Structures are given as structure tokens and as C-alpha cells.
A and B are shown apart, each in its own frame.
Chain A
Amino acid sequence: MTEPVLALEGLTVRFGSRRVVEDLTLRIGPGEVLGLAGESGSGKSTAALAILGDLGPGGRIEAGSLRFEGRELRGLAEREWRALRGAGIALVGQEPMAALNPSMRVGAQLAEVPRLHGRASRAEARAAARRALEELRLPDPDRMLAAYPHQLSGGQLQRIVLAMALMAEPRLLILDEPTTALDVTVEAEIMALLRGIRRTRGTAMLFIGHDLALMAGICDRLAVLYAGRLAEAGPVAQIFERARHPYTQALLAALPRIYAARRPPAPLPGSQPLPQDRPPGCAFAPRCTHARRGLCDRDPVPLETVALDAVVRCLRWREIDGAPEAAPALPGPDIGGPILEVEGLTRRFGSGRGTVHALQEASFTAFEGETLAIVGESGCGKSTLARLLMGLERADAGTIRLRGVEVQDRLAGRRPRDLTAAMQMVFQNPSDTLNPAIPAGRQVMRALELFQGGLPARTLREGLADLLGLVRLSPALAQRMPRALSGGQRQRVGIARALAGDPAVLVADEPVSALDASVQAAVIGTLLELQRTRRATLLFISHDLALVRQIADRVMVLYLGRIMEIGPAHRIFGALCHPYTRALLDAAPRPDPGAPPPSPLSGERPSALTPPSGCPFHGRCPRRAELPETLCEDRLPPLAEVAPGHRIRCHLPPERLRF
């Protein structure tokens, strides 16, 4: 057997009194890609930093061994670490913008690597930097080298960070959620690059992530971390086919699947415990449907080898049958008349350098009881639309009619109370949606107080308990400060707060995108259930097409502030759609190790400052060549009806948009 590139043996890391990683055993062979999956707080980044010897103050390795190419890394001197870092092991992190020095030109930062590790001269280092950028297919490398990080886009920056990591030809590349901060289309591009690097260079990789679907596309083997311990590890195909650990099974079931229509992801109750309050026995026991009292909650569960190259940490894996119960399919919506009518809505932002057209002439209608999903890449105007609807910003043109009343000229706070209550919003960021200085319950209470004004205090308290019950929170949590709640719990409180006025329209701006996969499903479930039982209209803003596919009745696709397509979900995901929608669908990762890799969309997204003339998508459109000469550049296609309720903005005739 060949020597593994990296071998961890019983690695235990602690920060102060908290054991963040416990008894972690991993092996990465030459040229192999190991995926390390886990939710935030499961200790995956800590493991990466331990491998790089950069735990920082307060962190230390308590037990175990780390071997890199057979050499023990524990207790290495600082000088030896320095030689190893970059050249032996390199890291690509999550936030490319933060990872680069803001006051240093990109070229200088790249050239630093050969200068540090070889005896390269200044000119040689510069040439090497240029080559590295060319290899990663960055356009116009000379401009890039002279640029400061803030002048480049997220995707470009991540490619630069990747180039920097590869420059010293490391034998192991650690990728810590390298695409989390990026759009699907850019993500697909980075993933394609990584696959290319792996093919041409054979670099071993440790791919850390939380998105199993994404990892399925690149990893050979998968290790699942839960609460600091390995839950399960094995070849990726085996895990996707037959996961043994209940947690892995639940994660897989919670994965949004792009070809599963109208079936919300299966929820997993509860959330991962913090390092200081992990239960004594199996850490997963409080959330596990298979847990046995007296068995699972007593002693720490040992890791068991269950097959060649596969381990699992569960006492009952033999008895547990593969897939957990799938969530029931959604009942069909009970759709009523129009409730929200938007006509020609436009919003521009003037900045020092020009005008950003955040939203241009958006017209659509939302009906009572339906789920209308709004999708698009970052910066396409999704949040702007939500903020305009809510009256957080003033529209430059257009009308918004809520229940037949025009509200576009009344900002929030100036709308009559019943209309304010009729449309409420759920926000994206769980750390920001609740006021950190006010107990969670009181924030819901205040909303009740405003919307159900004049009710006696006792009725209000009962109302609060009811609302918390609706979003499946225990009333005891009302006393807690937001930071004592988990992300999922905070989002639920935010939903409860929005429900206080019994809204007819609920605008949810990426309500789950910041949550862990296992928690995401449960929050979505709550939201959908409420929507169906109360017959509210849900405007669900998201960038996750797979999720949208599972829950939406209708879909609206935005690109650079324009509606490119709007129509019933089953049509858009089925027979016929806009080339941009198609590109988004193709770029989405598939939760299937055997599937062909997603195909990235080429070209940079144009800046909203200088929107292209004609069809906004023409710069990246793969179908553009099918149309005569400069039609797409010159004329903006109309949003034309291709079937009842289905409109597409493209010059191509509908029959050629079929797939």
C-alpha cells in the first residue's frame, strides 16, 4: 500500500476547556480527494487549521497524531512549519476577498509565494504569477496582476486565491468551503477548475463543505463530522447509495433535489449541540429517531469498521434500514384571486460612478395561497424587489397594489395598519433578523401589540404562546436573548413575528440560505405548512434552484434587474425555459456521485452599473449565435407569453427553447 499523503490518527483539539474535535481519524491517499462534511460548528475548519499548525492562541492538540507523507507534524518547530506551509500543504478558504491583503496588488501577493519557497528572482516570480493566472483561465492576466483585490469580482478573487495556493505545487490542497460565498454559476466554474487541477496535477485534496450535493461531484471518499466526531466515512458512492449512520441518512434526505417536484426536503428536528453541551453518549442521540434509551445515551460510541475503507459511529447501524421516511408530497395549492399586483416597478441607485439599475419595469401578479419563487444570481435585484414591496425603499416608477390598494407611494410606517399587517417579511440573516439586545419573545410581543392593538395583556401573552407553538418553538424560549438561540430557532422567531398580524402575503428573502442543511429543511417545512394552512401567499426569494423546484408553484427568474421568465414551476423545470434559466439549472450541483458534472456558464456577469444593451443576457448566452447578427445586442426582447401564464424574454421562438 502506498504511503498516504495525510494520515490523522485519533486527533483531538481543544480550545480552552472545549473539545472541538475529538478522536478524528482520516487518511488521504496520493491524488485522492477526501470530502469532510459537517454543519457549521462541527469542527471541520478546526481540523484543517490543526493540519496546518495554525490553531491560534488558545487552541492546542491534545492527543493523536498527524502525519504528512509519513512525517509526524505534532511538535514541529516554527521554522519547519514555515517550509511546509504553502509548499507542502496549501489552503483555500471561504472568503476570497478577506483572504487577500486589501492594500497589496494581486501580482505582489502571488509573486510572494515563489519568493518565499524557491530562490526565484523578482522577474521570475512575476512570470510565475502570470503563468499561474493563465492556467486558471483568468482573462487579461496583466490587468489582474496590477489590480487591488477590491477591483475584482468574487469569482475572480477565488481563482486568484486558488492560483496562489497552487503556485508552490503543494502535495495537499485543503479547500475550506471554497464556493460558499459564490453564485451557483461561478461555483460550477470553480468546481470545474478543481476537477481539472486534479486531473492534470494529481494533487491530493481535502474538500471541506456542508453541501453534500456539491461534494458528490468531486470527492472520492466522504467523511461526515458531527459535533466534533466522525459519524461515518467511506467511498462517496457507497455513502450516497447506502448511508449507515442515521445522521448521514438524514442529511441526504434533507438535500434539496432538483428533479423532485413539490416534495419538500425531509426535516431533521433540533440542532447540533455546542461543544460544551454535548451529551455523554452518542452526540446525535437527542435528534436520532433510532435512539434507544439506556443504550445510546450512556458511553461514548466507538468508531466501527464496517466494510473495507468504511467506518461508522453508531451502535445500531446493523438494525437501521437505509433511507429515512421521505417527507410527504405537498398537497396542491388552493389558489385564489390576485392579491398583489406589481406593474412596471423600477428602482435605480445613483452612485458616484453611475446609475445601478437594480430593478427595471418588473410586472407580475401574485395570487392568494400560492408560493411564488423569485430566483437569480447575486445582485440581480431580488432583495430590492422585496424591499420595494415592503416600503423600505421608494420606487422610481411603477405601481404596487396590495388587495387592490396602491401602496407604492407609502413607505413602511406610513401605510395603514391593516395593510402593514397584511404583508410581512422574513429576513435572511439569522444573526441579524432579531434584535440582539431584546429577549426573543418580547420582539414577537411588540408585533402583536402593534397589530392587535388594544387587546389586554393576557390575550397578548396567549397570542405569543400560540405563535411560538405554530413555529414549533417551546414557549420557554421566549425569555431568551437571541444569541442564546440557534440559527434555526431565530429564523422561527422571525417567522412568528411576521405572522403576528396574520399576513396575507409573506415575503421571505432567502430565509434559509444561512442555515445548515439539516436545519434548513425543518424551517422550510414550517414555513410551507403555515402558508398552506393559512392560505397566505408566499414570495420565496432564493438562489437555490433545487429548493425552489421542491416547493414553488410558480417561479420568476431575474437577471440584472429584469424579469427574464415567469411561469408555473412544472413548466419551467419541465419542457421549456429561458436560456438563462437553463444555464442556472445546468450549473446546479446534483446529489449523485455518478451524474455528469454540472456545466458552468462562461463569461463574467456584467456589472449592474453598465447593463448591456439589448438582451441583458447576450454576453453569456450560449444560444445567442443561433440568432441573426446583432439582434440580441440591439433589441430587448419582450416578455412574451409562450403558454398560458408562462412568459419568456427571449428572441428565440418558443419551440426552439424546448429541451
Chain B
Amino acid sequence: MEELGWLGILGRMALRFVPVWAGLALILGLGWRARARLGPAGRLFGSWAGLSGLTLVLFWVLTALFADLIATHDPLAQLSGLKNAVPGSPAPGSSYPVYLLGGDSLARDCFSRMVVGARRVLAIAPAATLCALAVGMLLGLPAGFVGGRLDAALSFLANLVLAFPVILLFYLLVTPEIRQTALPRTVAAVLFLMPLLFLVLLWHSRFRTRAGPWALGLAAILGPGLWIWAGLALDADPSGLWRLEPGLLTVFVAVVFVNAPTAFRIVRGLALDLRHRDYVAAARTRGEGPWFIMLWEILPNARGPLIVDACLRVGYTTILLGTLGFFGLGVSPESPDWGSTINDGRRFLAIYPHAAVVPALALLSLVLGLNLLADALRTEARHD
């Protein structure tokens, strides 16, 4: 088989992405039809930035979802003779006749690595963002709402972490040596407890006056919650369903750790701004407790900026994961995540740029999509 030209490559790639196109058409079509009923989310369809951001993000989400269908090769398999092969090189005797975007320095298929890498990134980044936001809310709400010494202490801690250059922190936290210590597990145990604690407080403050729903809800939260927590953080799930390999755990913890203080600052600022509203005073005068006020009166009004922040933060986390990979601190050396792949590819950058450019552009388009989305959401909120 001949080496493919660029048209051929693009055509074949488009064909591989058919499940994604179908998904995109379905979701965007339904969203468009229902846009009038979707509120602010629906108005995204009316703005150029919102629509393109949404499309880009959905594209990568669907790619991550259907990665197995789209990938042409095993992302770890090496084919002899295809070392640094240019895009469109024929790959005889494998699961697909061409290396669509060429081979890397270990003769693996760049296209498949990009596709599977999306799954990696989109599994970690949103989860880490949610975790960081939970930490940010749990500490930022009281800091802003109560203020005083509590605020001073928490803010000092946050500034402490913020004063660390991110890369230094990574070099200190994500080394093989650190993995041998109990540090990652301990930090993970604390960090992962936060989302759980958040849900418990949410339920408790709302239903403390009604014993029935209160007990039922807490049982429903704590049962599975503690199980997942024990599995992920302590590696103590007997069934083995919830488990994080140590490398991934360390990376996850590091990323959450870096994100949490900025999330804290944002939530604190919002709480500080909202705590003097009359409806907060009204809640206090009818005898509500502080957690009810923070979680049920203040938080719902902060959700707009928080959603925007979450979008930006997923993008930022993606960048951070890439940074980790770039310095060889990623999950594992041969992992197909985009940062590690860029790191592998940059050695031959001047001669065979494709191995690094492909994941670089992938990462760029995902982050761009998220930022466009955030921008559109913010504009929507402002014009409301």
C-alpha cells in the first residue's frame, strides 16, 4: 500500500470518528430543539463562542467515550519499521493498514495514542476539578461567611500553597520516592473525604428538622460514599471495584492539591460578597444554622461564577496534567496521556515534529473549547 496523502489521511480520520459525529449531531440537535427551555445553557446555542466551545468539548468527551471504537491500533503496540514514520505510512500486518498520523519514536501509532490519551485526560481532569471545588467550598464558605480568625488561618494556608511554583511542587510531590511514603495516601484520605463531607452537610443542614428523610438520606450518602472513599483513598475496598493505582493516585492528589487553594479563594470571595445580603440575614433571623445558610442560601447564588470557574479549571487541570507528563512525572512513562506523549516526541522535535504536534494540538483544542465555553457562559451571565 502506498503512503497516503493529506486528503486521504483526513478522509480516513473522519471515517474513524463516525461515532463521534453521530453523537455530536444527536446532542447538538436535541439541545438546539430544546434551547428555549434550557435557560442560560440554551442561550449558548445563540452565541458563536458558546456553540464552538460546546462542540469542541463534546467532541473530546465523545472521543474519550468511544476511544476503543475509534483507535486503529493498540496504543502501546510497536510495529517494527514504523519508528518515526511520517503520517499516512502504511502499516502492513496490523489491525489497520495505515498509521494515520504517523509513528512515534517507539514505532507506536500516534493517532491511536491521541485518541486513547483523551480518555486518560478526561477521566482525571473533571474528577480532580470536582474534588478541588469540594475542598474549596468546604473551606472557602466558612472562611468567607464566618470571617475573622478562621478566615485568616485558612487564607494563610491557601497562600502558602499558592506561593509554591507549581512545577517545584510537582517535583517534590510526584516523585517515585514520595510514592514509597505514606504521604500521598494520607493526603488523599483527607482530600477525598471532602466531597463526602460536603454531601453529608448538605443533607444534614436541610433535613435536620425532619428525622425520617434525614436518616434515610444520610444512610444513602454514607454507605456508598465510605465504600468508595475507602477503596480510592486507602486501597481498602475488599471487592476491588474502587481502586486507584499508586501512580495515578499521586498525580491526582498533586493536581487537586494545586487546584484547591485557588478554588478556595474564589469561593471565599463569593461568600464574602454574598454574606451581607438581606436574604442571608432573613435566614439567620428565622434561626437557620450556619451550614444551611452557606450551602442552601449562599451557594446556589454563587453557582454561575462557579460553573464558569469549573470550565476554566478543567482546562487548567488538563494543562497541569500535560505539564506533569512533559516533565516525565506522569502516571507512567508509556502512558498515552497527551503530556507524556509530547514529552516523548520533543526529543526528535526538529526532525519529526508530528509525534509531539499531534497531542499538542489535541490538548490545545480541548482547552480552547473549555475556555470558549467559560467565556460564553460568563457573557451570558453578565447580560442576564
Contact = CB atoms under 8 A, between A and B. Distances in A.
Interface stretch (A191-199, A338-346, A447-455): A447-455
A258 interface: no
A449 B287 CA distance: 12
B318 to A, nearest CB: 30
Interface in B85-114: none
B282 interface: yes
A434 B287 CA distance: 16
A66 to B, nearest CB: 29
Nearest to B304: A437
A428 B285 contact: no
Contact of A497 (B281, B282, B287): B282
A413 B209 contact: no
A451 B286 contact: yes
Contact of A413 (B210, B278, B289, B301): B289
B303 interface: yes
Interface in A399-454: 412-413, 415, 417, 420, 424-425, 427-429, 432-438, 443, 446-447, 449-451, 453-454
Interface in A270-291: none
B239 to A, nearest CB: 39
A244 to B, nearest CB: 40
Nearest to A494: B282
B297 A435 contact: yes
A454 B297 CA distance: 22
Contact of B301 (A429, A436, A446): A436
B282 A433 contact: yes
B282 A415 contact: no
Q: Which of A391, A413, A425 has the most CB of B within 10 A?
A: A413
A436 B283 CA distance: 13
B282 A429 contact: no
A424 B300 contact: no
A435 B300 CA distance: 9
Interface string B262-297: 000000000000000111011111111110000001
Contact of A420 (B209, B277, B278, B286): B286
B281 A392 contact: yes
Given A412-B284, A413-B284, A450-B286, A434 B279 contact: yes
Contact of A412 (B209, B278, B285, B301): B285
Contacts of B288: 413, 450
B305 to A, nearest CB: 13
A390 B301 contact: no
A451 B288 CA distance: 11
Interface string B44-76: 000000000000000000000000000000000
A392 B286 CA distance: 11
A413 B300 contact: no
Q: Which of A415, A449, A450, A454 has the most CB of B within 10 A?
A: A450
A596 B283 CA distance: 47
Contacts of B300: 435, 437-438
A179 B37 CA distance: 42
A501 B209 CA distance: 16
Contact of B287 (A417, A428, A429): A417
A497 B279 CA distance: 11
A432 B286 contact: no
B279 A392 contact: no
Contacts of B285: 390-392, 412, 420, 424-425
A454 B208 CA distance: 11
B287 A432 contact: no
B279 A432 contact: yes
Nearest to A453: B209
Contacts of B290: 413
A436 B287 CA distance: 20
Contacts of A453: 209
Given A435-B300, A435-B301, A438-B300, A449 B209 contact: yes
B209 to A, nearest CB: 5
Contact of B279 (A413, A424, A435, A500): A435
B63 to A, nearest CB: 35
Given A413-B288, A449-B209, A427 B281 contact: yes
Contacts of B289: 413
A415 B289 CA distance: 12
A453 B287 CA distance: 12
Interface string A353-393: 00000000000000000000000000000000001001110
Contact of B278 (A417, A429, A438, A454): A429
A252 B57 CA distance: 59
Interface in B204-246: 209-210
Contacts of A437: 300-301, 303
B282 A420 contact: no
A503 B277 CA distance: 22
Nearest to A416: B287
Q: Which of B279, B282, B284 has the most CB of A within 10 A?
A: B282
A500 B286 CA distance: 10
A425 B281 contact: yes
A364 B74 CA distance: 84
A494 B279 CA distance: 9
Nearest to B299: A437
Contacts of A497: 282, 286
B236 to A, nearest CB: 39
Contact of A424 (B286, B297, B301, B303): B286
Given A435-B301, A438-B300, A449-B209, A412 B287 contact: yes
Given A436-B301, A450-B209, A420 B279 contact: no
Interface of B: 209-210, 277-279, 281-290, 297, 300-301, 303
Top 10 nearest A-B pairs by Cβ distance? A437-B300, A427-B278, A432-B278, A435-B279, A412-B284, A420-B287, A390-B285, A433-B278, A437-B301, A412-B285
Interface of A: 387, 390-392, 412-413, 415, 417, 420, 424-425, 427-429, 432-438, 443, 446-447, 449-451, 453-454, 494, 497, 500-501
14 contacts: A391-B285, A392-B284, A412-B287, A413-B287, A415-B287, A420-B287, A424-B285, A427-B282, A432-B277, A435-B279, A436-B301, A449-B209, A449-B210, A453-B209
Given A390-B285, A432-B278, A449-B210, 7 more contacts: A391-B285, A415-B287, A424-B285, A436-B279, A447-B286, A453-B209, A501-B286
